[in-house]
Amino acid sequence: MIELKNVTKSFDGKNKVVSNLNLKIEKGEFVVLIGESGCGKTTTMKMINLLEKPTKGEIFIDGENVKSQDLMELRRNIGYVIQKVGLFPHMTIGENIELVPTLKKWSKEEKKARTFELLELMDLPAEDFYYRYPNELSGGQQQRIGIARALAVNPEIILMDEPFSALDPITREKLQDEMMNLQDELGKTIVFVTHDMDEALKLADKIAVIKDGEVIQFDTPEEILKNPANHFVEYFFGKDRMWKTPEMLLAKDIMKKKFGKIGVKGSPARAIEIMKERETNTLIVVDREGEKKQKPVGVVTRNMIMKNNGHSMKMKEIMASSEDFIIDENTNMVEVLNIMSKINFRSIPIVNKDKLLVGAITPISLLNIITEISPSIEGGEL
Ligand SMILES: Nc1ncnc2c1ncn2[C@@H]1O[C@H](COP(=O)(O)OP(=O)(O)OP(=O)(O)O)[C@@H](O)[C@H]1O
CA distances from 167 to 35, 105, 173, 241, 341 (A): 20, 34, 9, 23, 39
pLDDT at residue number 167: 77
Instruction: Give the pLDDT band (50/70/90) at residue 326.
Output: confident
Instruction: Give the pLDDT band (50/70/90) at residue 244.
Output: low
* Ligand 1 site, residue 16, Cβ cutoff 6 A: no
Angle at 28 between CA 129 and CA 163, to 5 degrees: 45
Highest mean pLDDT among 2-16, 115-129, 343-357: 2-16
* pLDDT surpassing 80 at residue 240: no
Highest mean pLDDT among 161-170, 195-204, 308-317: 195-204
* Ligand 1 site, residue 228, Cβ cutoff 6 A: no
* pLDDT surpassing 60 at residue 381: no
* Ligand 1 site, residue 43, Cβ cutoff 6 A: yes
Indicate the SS3 state at residue 104. coil
Q: Where are the beta strands (DSSP E) in the chain?
A: 2-10, 16-25, 30-35, 56-61, 64-65, 78-82, 157-161, 189-194, 206-211, 214-219, 261-263, 282-286, 296-301, 320-321, 327-328, 348-351, 357-361
pLDDT at residue number 329: 93
* Ligand 1 site, residue 344, Cβ cutoff 6 A: no
Across 332-346, b (16+ Cβ under 10 Å) vs e yields bbeebeebbeeeebb
- Convert the pLDDT of each residue in 113-134 to its tens digit: 999 998 988 888 999 999 999 9
pLDDT at residue number 374: 56
* Ligand 1 site, residue 41, Cβ cutoff 6 A: yes
* Ligand 1 site, residue 217, Cβ cutoff 6 A: no
Asked if 54 and 7 count as a contact pair (C-beta separation under 8 A), the reply is yes
Q: In testing the pocket of ligand 1, which one of 7, 8, 33, 42 has its CB within 8 Å of the most ligand atoms?
A: 42
Domain annotation for the chain: domains and CATH numbers: 2-248 (3.40.50.300), 252-370 (3.10.580.10)
pLDDT at residue number 311: 60
Centroid of ligand 1 to alpha carbon of 196 (angstroms):
17
Instruction: Give the pLDDT band (50/70/90) at residue 291.
Output: low
Q: Where are the beta strands (DSSP E) in 220-329?
A: 261-263, 282-286, 296-301, 320-321, 327-328
